[in-house]
Amino acid sequence: MKKIAAIIVMVLFVLPVGVGLSSDTDVVKNVQKNKEKTSTKITPNFIPHFRTNYMVTMRDGVQLATDVYRPIFRSSPHGTIFLKTPYNKDSLKIVGIIGILRGWPTVIQDMRGRFASDGIDTVFKNESTDGADTISWIANQTWSNGKIATIGPSAMGITQYCMAGANPQNLACQYVQVATPNLYKHAVFQGGEFRKNLVENWLSGQNSTYILQEVLDNENFTFGYWGNVTLDDNWEDVNVPAIHVGGWYDIFSQGTIEAYIGYQHLAGPGARGKSKLVMGPWTHTGFFSHKQGELTYPSNSLDRFSLRLFRDMVRLYTMNETDDFSSWPTVSYYVMGDVDTPNAPGNEWRYADDWPIPSTEVKWYLHNDALLTTDLPGFDDPLMYVYDPLDPVPTIGGKNLFSRAGPYDQRLVENRTDVLVFTSAVLQEPYEATGPIIARLFVSSDCPDTDFTVKLTDVYPDGRSLFITDGILRMRNRNGQDHWEFMQPGTIYEVEVDLWSTSYIWNTGHCIRVEVSSSNYPRFLNNPNTADGIYKNSTSTIAHNILYVDTNHSSCIILPEPAQNTTRAMFITPYVLSTRIFNPLFSSIFMLKKDGPVAI
């Protein structure tokens, strides 16, 4: 929670100091209503224009606890900053204070059923309507110019995507970090398999485990149940510019990318062509650290510019000031590389006009002698391994939140008999893959259902096998996550495992490695290899899973080799934060510990 608060505080420090009256006073005149009908003031306003508590009424009558922080020396309407949180608005007081010190009215609200708000916690399912109702309420206040910007990472970013789908008239722009516009696909059931560690631990930390059974009862996707927490069926209703910030090692890395693509290309006219994407070498809470997992990246790996990007966005879209936002690169991404060798290729920011960047799909084939090459395999024998659900492959690093996250050495699991390992020859020149990573496998099993996992690593000259990205496929969902199709014993299936996306350069002297197995626990639930639904099995079965690696069944991983001259290097001067940030008042915000509750 402390790290989440710190991210927001840094954003607010680069907000422009608001002065004067917005040119959109007509908006205010058009939306003024009797606010007593939609809210109840619950704290006397002893300090004028500072902090007032309201219970804001939603369309179904539920009231949400809302803190309004108003600048002391302003009476004219102004653009407003809005945050919704499941982690207690009182823990974000410093955010409101800094907001008004910068001259911006700031509104912070407890989500439905959380802390001081009424109602039952529905875990984001009411956020589209609750967010829209609150934005309408803010626009009707005399201190608002009718233009609201939302900010926040993680859960506070998910709420933004939900409310954007409701197309609120007064939502002006958004700054979303490490979040997803599709909870089903990226948070709960990746590749059809249940993200056990993430979901169970997060719900437990929110005292909201009562909703878990309802979630598991809806393991097959339907818009009827999941429609409120995905934008896939209503991108056209999204009509606001947004900045999408994510990390290659983040739990929602692909969600950030797909949000950008949706806003930029599929959304309504108010959003289309007006988004920015920033992808760095970070875990979920790694924005302020050079160290990610077992690797330490250079000092340039920190996000030193998206805050200025946010500043320029809110100036333009909430205050109608000069358009400096459009001059920023559309896509800023960090290409990762060898961190041990000075001047190794990679470990730099690159910039592009869109995502994914143009690339050539290169197939690296898996061979039965454990080699990984670009040559088609011959008429080779398949590889069989035994997967026992009672002895799953343990998770070591990766895109996690409640266990070790980021790049960790995978050699401990690579020595297992239920993990197939394929390694390239030692590279004679650097090799880059930037974009979506897909593994195309030919497989069979003697069970009605099982999982297939794929992991991509960088083998350093000293033998370490460092995690880059991974994926999973629950075989019953191989043709869609809205229905089941069980396997027939001995039948060979061609399937694709989505490893999400990355940008990485293997250095000369390194090797590319791919691991194939059937479990990654507790990151994902261990498949019992039965036809039962999640947690509905009473027994489990040992699976004999086969990977085919011959000419007619050429299993491979597809790596996107970037086309030349499709990206550009450009130096963006790091934003130098004012020294006042580091005075005693704020030092506790930035000198953060890794203990305490962690937020998504």
The pLDDT tens digits of the residues spanning 27-79 come to 333 333 333 345 676 654 444 458 999 999 999 999 999 999 998 777 789 99
pLDDT of residue 76: 87
Query: How many Cβ atoms from other residues are within 10 Å of residue 68's Cβ?
Result: 27
pLDDT the model gives residue 569: 56
Task: Note whether 229 and 185 are within 8 A (CB).
Answer: no
Sheet of 465-474: strand order equals: 420-423, 511-517, 451-459, 465-474
The confidence score (pLDDT) of residue 156 equals 98
pLDDT tens digits for 334-392? 999 999 999 999 999 999 999 999 999 999 999 999 999 999 999 999 999 999 999 99
Mean pLDDT over all residues of the chain? Answer: 89
Burial 492-515 (b: 16+ CB within 10 A, else e): ebeeebbbbbbbbbbbebbbbbbb
Over pLDDT 90: what percentage of the chain?
A: 83
Structure-derived torsion over alpha carbons of residues 168, 182, 212, 451, reported in degrees to the nearest 10:
170
CA-angle at 251, arms to 250 and 257, nearest 5°: 70
- For 282, the 3-state DSSP assignment is coil
Q: Report the distance separating Cα 231 and Cα 166, nearest Å.
A: 10
Percent residues over pLDDT 70 in the chain: 86
107 sits in the region (left: phi over 0; alpha: psi -120 to 50; else beta) called beta
Query: Which has the minimum average pLDDT: 44-48, 326-330, 540-544, 582-586?
Result: 582-586
Q: Comparing 521 with 574, which gets the higher pLDDT?
A: 521
- Give the pLDDT confidence of 112-127 residue by residue, as tens digits: 999 999 999 999 999 9
Is residue 7 over pLDDT 90? no
Whole-number Å distance between alpha carbons of 309 and 325? 7
Question: Residue 583: is its pLDDT beyond 90?
Answer: no
Distance CA 599, CA 155 (A): 7
Provide the pLDDT for residue 131. 98
Domains of the chain: 2-187+234-355 (3.40.50.1820), 359-562 (2.60.120.260)
Which pTM value belongs to this model? 0.91
- For 362-399, give one letter per residue: b (16+ CB within 10 A) or e: ebbbbbbeebbbeeebeebebbebebebeebbebbbbb
User: Residue 476's pLDDT is what?
Assistant: 98
* Residues 345/368, Cβ–Cβ less than 8 Å: no
Task: Judge whether residue 418 has pLDDT over 90.
Answer: yes
Confidence of residue 557 (pLDDT cuts 50, 70, 90): very high
> Average pLDDT, stretch 405-410?
98
